């Protein structure tokens, strides 16, 4: 392994080498920046980066080691930050021109967590305008491409993070997820992505106003990475306490022993899961059984399709007119189309409907919580389809509806507040990523990480795209 290839190592290996002073954080950062400069022009995954600043942070880590201090568990690990969260001195754009000059004066809790753990932020990653889509394109930063196959979406809204991690631009990518925005890019780009439990990772942007009800009860930050162990390391860094988020929960990262019992559902709520994903789920179940898990196939799970309606009501039913006005002012075709597709539902929502959806969310979360008393993990599809053709949702009203129907598990699961993980299980003969999704009990990320690791250990490692 030459110093130039340090960019290809997992975070756990990089941190171990840096902490042992076998390589310096500065050497790792130089390698990561060289990789970024080599592949990013074809991807547009990273939309802003400052090499001198990254190297200055790396030099501080090396200096701390020289002085005998512990720089943290992610010592020298290159990470990327999504443009939706505050990073001091950078614009929190959310992919829109209206925020191109919204410069953060302080770091969000996520960025502070990475820095405290010794990580080196090397760039800001792209998102669709307003983070509305499972496709990543906007008028400010441009179009992000999938490094596995250019004709496929890199996912969204953390499409830049997924593309960056898959191409070796950083070992860990930060993402956010209200309706699949971590899990879907991980799936589409052929890496892994963890959506933590609601309240696990503190959230706050001083640059903007506080989130509405939908965002408060469903949006989270989480990591994308090429190994499950790297997801675990990243979660530890991101889950630190921060008084700026009163909904942060001081739950332990490792809970008591849980029974190794999993439920397998190939077609939750009648989802028309494609044959390739059903086969991936069956194979993942066999890997779990080989690892000593009891896996039971279930035809029925707690509500997911109904949860989709709750999600859309709480998200689009809250000041829909304001959302539309902002999208039209921005002029972004994707954002306008995303909102237009939900017009009928959004305009039908009154205060009583909104209140009823919030109440029903509690019932759905309760049903899932009780189900997870029997099963420690649920294994189910990440989507009904293989990753979509890029910009499929803009081709026709029928294609828009097809996309939203296929994404039932992406949209519905956040209503439960439970952690979920998109796990890559390989690529098909055309280079299209394939994967599965795992759901765990509340604040039991440790359990789904262990289950995912058992599957990962029995398959080929995640490859780096564009080698």
Catalytic residues: 82, 157, 181
Of 193, 108, 294, 100, the residue nearest 185 (C-alpha): 193
Residue 359 half-sphere exposure toward CB, CA atoms < 13 A: 6
Interstrand relation of 192-195 and 220-225 (parallel, antiparallel or unpaired): antiparallel
- The torsion angles phi and psi of 340, rounded to 5 degrees, stand at -60, -35
- Compute CA distances 253 → 44, 216, 442, whole Å: 34, 22, 11
Distance, CA of 451 to CA of 27 (rounded, Å): 34
Residue pointed to by tokens 């009800």: 213
Q: Packing angle between helix 25-43 and helix 11-19, nearest 10 degrees?
A: 150
Residue 116 half-sphere exposure toward CB, CA atoms < 13 A: 16
Burial 227-261 (b: 16+ CB within 10 A, else e): bbbbbbbbbbbbbbebeeeeebeeeeeeeeebebe
Distance, CA of 192 to CA of 175 (rounded, Å): 12
């Amino acid at each position: 392994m030459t110093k130039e290839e340090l960019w290809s190592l997992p975070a756990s290996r990089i941190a171990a080498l840096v902490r042992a002073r076998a390589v310096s954080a500065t050497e790792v950062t130089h390698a990561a920046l060289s990789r970024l400069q080599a592949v990013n022009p074809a991807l547009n995954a990273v939309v802003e980066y400052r090499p001198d600043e990254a190297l200055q942070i790396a030099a501080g880590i090396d200096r701390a080691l020289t002085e005998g201090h512990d720089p943290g568990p992610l010592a020298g690990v290159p990470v990327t930050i999504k443009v939706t969260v505050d990073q001091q001195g950078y614009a929190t754009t959310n992919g829109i021109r209206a925020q191109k000059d919204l410069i953060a004066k302080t770091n969000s809790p996520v960025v502070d967590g990475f820095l405290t753990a010794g990580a080196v932020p090397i760039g800001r990653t792209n998102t669709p305008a307003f983070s509305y889509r499972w496709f990543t394109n906007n008028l400010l930063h441009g179009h992000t491409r999938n490094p596995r196959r250019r004709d496929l979406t890199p996912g969204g809204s953390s499409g830049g993070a997924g593309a960056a991690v898959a191409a070796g631009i950083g070992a860990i990518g930060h993402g956010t997820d209200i309706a699949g925005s971590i899990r879907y890019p991980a799936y589409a780009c052929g890496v892994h992505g963890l959506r933590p439990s609601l309240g696990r990772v503190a959230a706050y942007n001083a640059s903007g106003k506080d989130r509405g009800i939908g965002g408060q009860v469903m949006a989270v930050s989480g990591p994308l990475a090429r190994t499950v162990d790297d997801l675990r390391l990243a979660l530890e860094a991101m889950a630190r306490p921060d008084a700026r988020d009163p909904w942060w929960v001081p739950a332990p990262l490792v809970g008591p022993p849980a029974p190794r019992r999993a439920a397998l559902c190939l077609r939750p709520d009648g989802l028309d899961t494609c044959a390739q994903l059903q086969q991936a789920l069956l194979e993942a179940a066999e890997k779990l059984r080989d690892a000593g898990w009891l896996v039971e196939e279930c035809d029925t799970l707690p509500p997911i399709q109904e949860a989709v309606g709750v999600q859309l009501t709480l998200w689009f039913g809250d000041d829909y007119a304001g959302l539309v006005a902002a999208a039209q002012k921005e002029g972004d075709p994707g954002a306008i189309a995303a909102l237009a597709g939900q017009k009928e539902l959004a305009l039908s929502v009154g205060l009583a409907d909104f209140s009823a959806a919030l109440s029903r969310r509690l019932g759905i979360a309760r049903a899932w919580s009780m189900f997870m008393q029997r099963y420690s993990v649920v294994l189910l599809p990440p989507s009904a389809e293989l990753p979509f053709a890029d910009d499929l949702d803009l081709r026709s009203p029928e294609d828009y509806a097809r996309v939203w129907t296929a994404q039932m598990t992406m949209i519905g699961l956040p209503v439960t507040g439970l952690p979920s993980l998109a796990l890559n299980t390989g690529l098909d003969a055309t280079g299209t990523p394939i994967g599965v999704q795992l759901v765990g009990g509340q604040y039991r990320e440790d359990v789904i990480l262990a289950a995912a690791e058992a599957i990962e250990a029995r398959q080929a490692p995640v490859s780096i795209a564009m080698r």
